[in-house]
């Protein structure tokens, strides 16, 4: 009886504590009893060193990950080198084939990463597992094609799916290894496999701007008109990103050049709006229709495409002219009018500080018998805002020099009231009539101020034909901020 009583005592004396206790701490428990009257002990630096930030529960959970089995590290090194003899020996010594080395890698992962077929086979036979992608797709995702071939020859399928039904091929494509993706495609992987958002794999590739993988997928039959989760075709993304090369590849494989964005803007309209002349040219070459874009909607945000180009702040004058010529060659009407105020394109061109754009429209023989928003003619408006180059371009195109605007003014009347000798001479050269009744007050004015030089210009003289092609001087024009009279900008509420 006494012996049985001593046995538990002896066991109690040799039983280890449930947690580690420093050697110098033998009498004090780590936590003071509530019944003790003494104040709580301050933890020593030793205890502080032993308690990392965070809960002891988290430390307990992660303690296993911080301890690395030397055999596993050696096994990983042998698998990396392809040392089959050492791998076999370590496996026979019960090395953990699913353990992790100090870098967090398993032996099988090391073998796959370095395409070591022999050691990978030994590890697989010993029960090594891949905890994310199946072995075949893991090998393909890192470009280990020897192992991938071995696995296919062993019966693994390229059609594998996760528990949610997503093909593992989607994950391989997301990794972006061109050789691995090509290998799986050549062995029958589904090129139009879909991800969790029901998007085909080419959608995620296009959205990473990966041209080579896009080309590869298309060569194996991927859908160039695939749509993303919001219903936009992938060509829309390429145009929005201004990626001309990517857009060209998609168009060459059947993408729709008249595709629309989610807000029903055609991609040609989008390209024009972004000021991408190269993209506009590509889309037109591939069959985009400019005829559909003369009228696009019912609000100022959907102006005809030609007017969008004229008023686009992202295009310089040369780019505007280039894009306008392409659009008009492909069916955009130079006579198009805006859908809000009914102003024709030539009015918008005259209003902007860009003589080359005006000339591009005038070369298409547009109607110049039109009015600006406040009633001016094209000539009187240009004189009002002091755009001499535009005045000369209009005169050279044969605009009526004696046309009276809605404010009962003629170009000659404005020139005389400004006491502008050069402009008066230019207008007289093109046939301005100083005897018109609208000009009489201005004639009286120059007489009153004693401008005999202007009076001399107005005297009857032998009528000569105006210059057929007077040169347009490329002088600096006034910036748009220098105040035209009330016109489109003011009425439209843009200033």
User: For residue 79, is it within any domain?
Assistant: yes
Residue 264 lies in a domain: no
Give me the domain span that covers residue 459: 368-495
The residue among 131, 155, 182 that closes a domain is 131
Q: In this structure, is residue 388 part of a structural domain? A: yes
With vertex at residue 151, the alpha carbon angle to CA 145 and CA 157, rounded to the nearest 5 degrees, is 105
Q: What tokens were used for 65?
A: 């990950």
Closest CA relative to residue 284, chosen from 261, 257, 306, 255:
257
Residue in this structure with the two tokens 């992660």, named with its chain if needed: 62
How far apart CA 131 and CA 262 sit, in angstroms, is: 39
pLDDT at residue number 185: 97
Report which of 64, 62, 40 is spatially closest to residue 53, judged by C-alpha positions.
Answer: 62
In 3-state terms the chain splits into helix, strand, coil percentages (rounded to 5) of: 50, 0, 50
Residue 355 CA to residue 321 CA, distance in Å, equals: 10
In a domain, 455, yes or no: yes
Q: How many CB atoms lie within 10 A of CB 198?
A: 10
Q: What is the pLDDT along the chain (495 residues), one digit of tens a residue?
A: 444 444 444 444 434 333 333 333 333 344 444 444 444 444 443 344 344 444 555 444 554 555 667 888 888 898 889 888 888 888 888 888 888 888 888 888 898 889 889 888 888 888 888 777 899 999 999 999 999 999 999 999 999 999 889 999 999 999 999 999 999 999 999 999 999 999 999 999 999 999 999 999 999 999 999 999 999 999 999 999 999 999 999 999 999 999 999 988 889 988 988 888 899 999 999 988 766 555 444 344 467 888 888 988 888 889 899 889 988 888 888 998 888 888 999 999 999 888 999 999 999 989 999 999 999 999 999 999 999 999 999 999 999 999 999 999 999 999 999 999 999 999 999 999 999 999 999 999 999 999 999 999 998 754 444 444 444 443 334 343 333 444 444 444 443
On whether residue 42 sits in a domain, the answer given is: no
**Residue 100 forms part of a structural domain:** yes
d(C-alpha 120, C-alpha 151), whole Å = 10
Whether residue 419 is contained in a domain is answered as yes
Residue 427 lies in a domain: yes
Query: Of 131, 149, 170, which residue sits at a domain end?
Result: 131
| CATH number for the domain that contains residue 92 | 1.25.40.20
Domain-terminating residue out of 108, 131, 154: 131
| Interatomic CA distance for residues 166 and 164, integer angstroms | 6
CA dist., res. 308 & res. 298, Å (int): 14
Total tally of structural domains belonging to the chain: 2
Query: Which of 280, 349, 281, 343 has the alpha carbon at shortest distance from 311?
Result: 349
Instruction: Centre a 10 Å sphere on the Cβ of residue 385 and count the other Cβ atoms it contains.
Output: 20
Q: Tell me, what's the pLDDT at 384?
A: 93
């Amino acid at each position: 009886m006494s012996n049985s009583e001593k046995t538990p005592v002896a066991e109690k004396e040799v039983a280890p504590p449930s947690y580690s206790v420093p050697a110098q701490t033998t009498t004090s428990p780590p936590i003071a009893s509530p019944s003790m009257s003494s104040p709580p002990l301050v933890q020593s630096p030793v205890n502080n060193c032993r308690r990392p930030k965070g809960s002891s529960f988290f430390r307990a959970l992660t303690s296993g990950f911080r301890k690395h089995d030397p055999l596993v590290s050696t096994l990983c090194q042998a698998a990396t080198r392809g040392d089959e003899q050492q791998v076999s020996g370590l496996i026979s010594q019960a090395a953990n084939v699913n353990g992790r080395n100090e870098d967090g890698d398993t032996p099988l992962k090391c073998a796959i990463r370095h395409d070591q077929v022999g050691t990978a086979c030994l590890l697989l036979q010993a029960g090594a597992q891949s905890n994310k992608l199946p072995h075949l797709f893991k090998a393909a995702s890192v470009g280990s094609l020897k192992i991938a071939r071995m696995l296919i020859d062993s019966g693994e399928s390229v059609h594998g799916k996760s528990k949610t039904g997503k093909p593992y091929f989607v994950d391989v494509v997301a990794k972006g290894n061109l050789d691995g993706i090509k290998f799986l495609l050549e062995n029958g992987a589904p090129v139009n496999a879909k991800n969790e958002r029901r998007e085909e794999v080419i959608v995620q590739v296009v959205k990473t701007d990966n041209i080579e993988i896009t080309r590869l997928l298309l060569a194996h039959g991927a859908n160039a008109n695939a749509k993303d989760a919001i219903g936009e075709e992938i060509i829309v993304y390429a145009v929005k990103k201004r990626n001309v090369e990517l857009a060209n590849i998609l168009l060459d494989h059947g993408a729709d050049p008249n595709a629309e964005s989610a807000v029903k803007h055609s991609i040609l309209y989008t390209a024009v709006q972004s000021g991408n002349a190269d993209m506009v040219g590509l889309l037109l070459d591939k069959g985009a229709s400019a005829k559909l874009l003369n009228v696009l909607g019912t609000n100022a945000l959907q102006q005809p495409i030609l007017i969008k180009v004229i008023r686009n702040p992202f295009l310089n004058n040369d780019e505007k002219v280039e894009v306008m010529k392409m659009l008009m060659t492909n069916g955009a009407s130079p006579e198009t009018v805006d859908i809000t105020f009914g102003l024709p394109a030539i009015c918008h061109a005259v209003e902007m500080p860009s003589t080359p754009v005006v000339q591009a429209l005038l070369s298409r023989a547009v109607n110049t018998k039109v009015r600006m928003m406040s009633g001016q003619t094209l000539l009187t408006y240009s004189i009002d805002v002091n755009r001499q180059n535009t005045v000369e371009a209009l005169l050279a195109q044969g605009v009526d020099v004696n046309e009276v605007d809605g404010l009962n003014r003629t170009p000659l009347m404005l020139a005389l009231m400004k006491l502008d000798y050069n402009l008066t001479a230019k207008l007289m050269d093109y046939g301005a009539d100083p005897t018109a009744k609208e000009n009489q007050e201005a004639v009286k004015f120059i007489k009153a101020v004693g401008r005999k030089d202007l009076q001399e210009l107005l005297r009857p003289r032998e009528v000569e034909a105006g210059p057929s092609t007077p040169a347009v001087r490329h002088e600096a024009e006034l910036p748009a901020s220098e105040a035209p009279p009330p016109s489109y900008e003011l009425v439209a509420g843009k200033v």
